[in-house]
Amino acid sequence: MKKSIVLFGLLGVAGLATAESSGFIGGLAPDSRPAGAPVITSFEQTPAWQAQALRGIRQPHVGLGFLKYQGAWYTPFILPNSTGRYDIRDLHADVARKD
């Protein structure tokens, strides 16, 4: 009996903890922007951002016109991804290669 009381008590506490409001949650209605959602008002492509986006790509930069319109959207193109022999742009240059 004591074990069941303790179990129900723990379940009750866990239920209360999960029922608390966690603040802003976006994406529950993907067809509309929620009120109070963060908004990016301006984005400037600084020389540092452009250097990171073009790192590891030799001249001529053909087919990269989309970077001009990239804005603040997330793009995996400008971030380091795979390592080792799959790092063809050498974005993980500071990590020692093992191949």
Give the N- to C-terminal CA distance of the chain in Å, as an integer: 62
Per-residue pLDDT of 24-53, as tens digits, reads 666 677 777 777 778 888 889 999 989 888
Distance between CA atoms of 94 and 96, rounded to whole angstroms? Answer: 6
Q: Which has more confidence, 75 or 16?
A: 75
Reference 91, options 51, 81, 58, 46; nearest CA is 81
Per-residue pLDDT of 54-94, as tens digits, reads 888 888 988 888 888 888 888 888 888 788 888 888 888 76
Query: Model pTM greater than 0.75?
Result: no
Do the Cβ atoms of 83 and 92 come closer than 8 Å?
A: yes
Predicted confidence (pLDDT) at residue 98 exceeds the cutoff of 60: no
